[in-house]
Amino acid sequence: MDTALPYLTQDLPGIGGQIKYTPADFFVEEIPLYPPSGEGQHVYITLEKTNLPTLKVINMVARALHVQRRAVGYAGLKDAHAVTRQTLSVDGTTEEAARALDIPGVKILQVSRHRNKLKPGHALGNRFVIRVRGVTEEALPVAEAIVAELRAKGVPNYFGEQRFGHRQNSQWLGKALVQNDLEVFLREMLGNPHPSEALPAQKARALFDAGDLQAALDAFPSFLRDERGVLRQLVRTGDPQRAVRALDKRLKRLFVSAYQSYLFNILLAQRLTHFHRLEKGDVAWLHRNGACFLVDDVLSAQPRADAFEISPAGPLFGGKYLRAEGEPGAREAALLAQEGVSAKEFDVPGVNLGGGRRPYRIPLTDAELWWDDGVMVSFSLPPGAYATMVLREIMKTETPHS
């Protein structure tokens, strides 16, 4: 976790420890937005997976049921190194076939039908039960004090390090796309060996940095398909624009989104000491439905924030986001100027993110703590929130994800 991001509970010591020692130490259960009706063309499969990423399970389910990958819908991606429960929707299969699924690491819990395909965001949130190992029972009251503050003020809604990719550089790739600096993009995507990567990948990137493009292409491992595709086009044409055009638009979208997230985190860090207090000119987020509005009268709006009905919201920069005014707007404009970008530049051709708002804090609900061979922490979060942000405050270790 990026320790440059300040803690909300910095006056309280962390308990240290380790999570995800085994998959069973990290349990996630999707909270459905609605129950299946029992009729309709989509078969809803509620399953439990262990130590498997969601997208891999989706591919396995599609193959086993002999349907196209796009026929499978899901509400959200779940942690891989964990035990997680979620629901998939499948078009073009039967309930009998779904119940008969036999996939290693996957248990079928329930099968029903519904009219709609599940899409990202079609969930109320997620419930977590997490064990923190490597601590003594004396850590429990310390964790309880931290959780009490998170309950009262909310959890900092930072984007977690997962957002920035395995090499922790997705934000820089996104910035290069926003600035249309293709040379920088290619150097960042194809060069700069990272110590966490496999040695063949590091070797290929070093060859690219040395200017030997063909040797780099020959050396890139086959599992780095995106890098190989871009580099192959660059070797073939010598044209950076055509090389970048070869990249999947979904991946470009991911990179630009990571840059949006990086800037959001900066603004949240600046705001953290008073992120539960509204300012004149703020954009407020209505937690009930995600609607946003400008705050003009702080005195009348603050009681709604105290009741966690609304919260200040930070920008996901783009051409169509709702701009803050007053001091909040000035801080956002200053960050863009410091970065040397404009909001409209985030509308990268073919990416079409548009921009938006994200609350600076999220409610921590159903929180419970107890001792069971470690500090057990149970809580619920809304969609798009990172459980590691809760654990980060409790543990205050450099890498609470491991």
- Pair 312, 279: CB distance under 8 Å: yes
How far apart are the C-alpha atoms of 142 and 228, rounded to whole Å?
49
* Assigned token pair, 276: 């539960």
Q: What H or E segment, with its residue span, contains residue 243?
A: helix 240-245
Structure tokens at 163: 């957002």
Asked if 243 and 231 touch (Cβ cutoff 8 Å), the reply is yes
Distance, CA of 151 to CA of 155 (rounded, Å): 8
DSSP H or E run through 371:
strand 365-371
Task: Give the HSE-up count for residue 330: Cα atoms under 13 Å, Cβ half-sphere.
Answer: 5
CA angle at residue 369 from 29 to 19, to 5 degrees? 65
Task: Give the angle 244-247-250 at the CA atoms, nearest 5°.
Answer: 130
- Tell me which residue of 46, 44, 131, 125 sits closest to 85, measured CA to CA: 46
Q: How far apart are CA 338 and CA 68, in angstroms?
A: 46
Q: Token pair for residue 246?
A: 């070869």
Q: Active-site residue among 2, 25, 79, 181? A: 79
> What ranges in 5-118 are assigned the alpha helix state H?
54-65, 95-99
Identify the three-state secondary structure at position 310: strand
Active-site residue 25, yes or no? no
**Residue 132 in contact with residue 377, Cβ under 8 Å?**
yes
Q: Which residues are catalytic?
A: 79
